[in-house]
Amino acid sequence: MIQLLSSRTPAFLPPSALQARSARVGFGLALSLLVGAAGSPVLANTVAKAEAECRLTDNGKVVFDGGCSIKQKDGSGTVGFVVKLEDGSTYRFSGPNRTNLRLEGGDGGSNVLFEDKGAKGLFSWNDGTRTRRLSVKTNETTASSAGDRDQINTRIESDGRNCKSAILAKYGDGSKMSMADVNVTLGATLRQSIDAGKISLADINRSGLDYNFTTRRAKGKDPVGTCATDGRGTVIKIQSNR
């Protein structure tokens, strides 16, 4: 068995990553809402997602300061953002470009000023009686697109098979051990970093992957240990308890 990446919560991308599959995340997060003829928003495909820290003020008073998420969506000639606060509030901004956004929903119809400040984005709007500002600071991690994640899963499976074959060749002689008796899983820290978007496909292609392994039906004591591959997927190191 080879453990693959979780498919939950893809990492979010900056605009440049729509062309380059992975990049350092700044705020440059865009989403698009496809607005139908009747004026009601229709969500387009989610391109990416990121965790962030948000602060919402109402006429200068802080009404929320905590965790949030932001999604990027891609539609027909529209750009925008969807921000969901930990308290359950959701803010959807859409328009033909970043300098011409409107807020959908509760304060619907309000024109929105958007300022890109690198790792932070600031949305400001006024409904006629109050001015609200929503600051969104994204976590600065290396992000991978959904396409990268598919390739990462393929790479994890391929390198895992290489490790299983190398482990069987090293410890299987004179035993009844088969490939089915070798179990490999990504190292816990490595797996968490990939799931969090901190390690990209390019990183894996440079440095390879690390696995933990267990075996059964070996001759003598069943080996338990680690297996490492290089950037090309070649097994470069096997360490065990024997």
User: What would the pLDDT profile of 95-143 be if each residue is shown by its tens digit?
Assistant: 887 788 889 876 556 789 988 877 788 999 998 889 999 999 886 544 4
Euclidean distance between CA atoms 66 and 13, whole angstroms: 21
Structural tokens at position 141 = 């991690």
pTM > 0.75: yes or no? no
Please state which architecture CATH assigns to domain 15-138. Answer: Beta Barrel (2.40)
Residue 41 has pLDDT above 70, yes or no: no
SS (H, E, C) the chain: CECCCCCCCCCCCCHHHHCCCEEECCCCCCECEEECCCCCEEECEEEEEEEEEEEEEECCEEEEEEEEEEEEEECCCCEEEEEEECCCCEEEEEEEECCEEEEECCCCCCEEEEEECCCEEEEEEECCCCEEEEEEEECCCEEECHHHHHHHHHHHHHHHHHHHHHHHHHHCCCCCCCHHHEEEEECHHHHHHHHCCCCCHHHHHHHCCEEEEEECCCCCCCCEEEEEECCCCCEEEEEECC
**According to the model, what pLDDT value does residue 33 have?**
27
**Domain extents for the chain?**
15-138, 145-240
Give the pLDDT band of residue 49 (cuts 50, 70, 90).
confident
**Least-confidence region, from 12-16, 31-35, 236-240:** 31-35
- Output the average pLDDT for the chain: 77
**According to the model, what pLDDT value does residue 220 have?**
86
Euclidean distance between CA atoms 123 and 10, whole angstroms: 24
